[in-house]
Amino acid sequence: MSDNRLIWLNGNIVPVNEATINVLSPTSQFGANVFEGIRCYWDEEEQQLYSFKLEEHYKRLKNSMKMFRMEDKYTIDELKKGLIDIVLANNYREDIAVRQTVFIDGFGSWMSKGPISMFIAPIAKSRSDIEKKTGMKCCISSWERISDRNLSPKVKVGANYINSRMAQMEALENGYDSAILLNNQGKISEGPGSCLFIVRDGKLITPPVTASILESITRDTIIELAKNEMEIEVIEREIDRTELYICDEVFLCGSAMEIGAVSNVDGIVVSNGEIGSITKKIHETYMKTVTGKLGNYRKWLTPIYV
Ligand SMILES: Cc1ncc(COP(=O)(O)O)c(C=O)c1O
């Protein structure tokens, strides 16, 4: 399916091989693009595909465009309609991930504001099953997370992922599964493409949005679910590197990863090395939420087939 996919490009629906861009465009030359990674989950019983937190993704996309000084070209309804149209055109009846990217097209330079183009690319991606997973082995990266004073992590711009790339490549080359980055204050920030939580004495702790992190939609979802559905206290505060060595549980989270347990940091086993009970419970509650099994949160779902 993936090779024959259809892609939405500037209002046209085209085969993936025909969805081409100008090699000289600022997006191609300088990573001048902002994007969202959005999940949609298939409900076999209802024969329906539900996208998760579309409004929140489009709000963040528009914020990225504003911070990146792009013309505010698309309304939320247009952004949403493009996604629905391309998913329908591909007739997906399975879990998918959608990349929606607004980019600087044309023949300009790294400082061009336009012309603005957009593509929307869905691909099959099944949901995770924590029972089949083992925890990841992570290192604290020797690369520092970008900060709001150089490349803001709040802007979901393609160029920011060079920082993630350096950290992830180093981790893999050194035999780890992934990396956790420190910010310019030497405190824990996030993973290369995910936010981080730890558990200490039954409480969930996560770095604040000012700790050089992306304002993650999954992080917000987990905070709300933990407080309202699971009666777990959530604390947003700075986290020291060594807390990862002595805490009870560590996990990373994001739209793509969902919940990913971390069982080892810098070669030090987290607790007994098994996936912890709170991580499992959060995974279960999160998956119920994104698949519409928790009534209170169906407001976060948008049906695609109407
Ligand atoms: C650097 C970074 N942090 C965190 C996240 C998680 O964000 P979200 O939960 O909105 O997917 C992502 C996901 O793309 C990311 O790239």
Q: How far is the CA of 203 from the centre of ligand 1 (A)?
A: 22
The alpha carbon of 244 is separated from its chain's Cα centroid by a whole number of angstroms, namely: 22
The ranges of the chain annotated as CATH 3.30.470.10 are 2-124
Could you give the 3-state DSSP secondary structure of residue 299? helix
Compute, in angstroms, the gap from residue 216 CA to the centroid of ligand 1.
Answer: 5
Tell me the best of 145, 216, 224, 257 to mutate to test the pocket of ligand 1, counting ligand atoms within 8 Å of each CB and taking the most: 216
- Where does the pLDDT of residue 129 fall: very low under 50, low under 70, confident under 90, or very high at 90 and above? confident
Could you tell me if the CB of 189 is within 6 A of ligand 1?
Answer: no
d(CA 9, ligand 1 centre) in Å: 24
| High-pLDDT (> 90) share of the chain, % | 95
Among 40, 188, 194, 215, which residue has the most ligand 1 atoms within 8 Å of its CB, making it the best to mutate? 194
Percent of the chain with pLDDT over 70: 99
Topology of domain 2-124, per CATH?
A: D-amino Acid Aminotransferase; Chain A, domain 1 (3.30.470)
pLDDT for position 2? 53
Closest CA to 59 of 224, 220, 289, 286: 220
Amino acid in position 74: Y
Q: For residue 81, what are the contacts with CB-CB under 8 A and spacing of at least 6?
A: none
In the chain, CATH 3.20.10.10 sits at: 130-290
Give the active site residues. Answer: 156
End-to-end CA distance of the chain: 23
Rounded mean pLDDT, 48-59: 98
Backbone angles phi, psi at 225, to 5 degrees: -65, -40
| Class of domain 130-290 (CATH, top level) | alpha beta
Instruction: Tell me the whole-structure pTM to 2 decimals.
Output: 0.97
Please give the average per-residue pLDDT across 279-286, as a whole number: 97
56: exposed, middle or buried (C-beta count within 10 Å: 0-12, 13-18, 19+)? middle
Does residue 1 register a pLDDT over 60?
A: no
Is 260 touching ligand 1 by the criterion CB < 6 Å? no
Can you tell me the mean pLDDT for 229-238? 97
pLDDT digits (tens, 9 = 90+) for 91-101: 999 999 999 99
What is the model's pLDDT at position 238?
Answer: 98
Instruction: Tell how far the Cα of 108 is from the centroid of ligand 1, in angstroms.
Output: 29
- Separation of alpha carbons 243 and 200, rounded Å: 9
Mean confidence (pLDDT) of the chain: 96
Q: Residue whose CA is closest, atom 13 of ligand 1?
A: 193
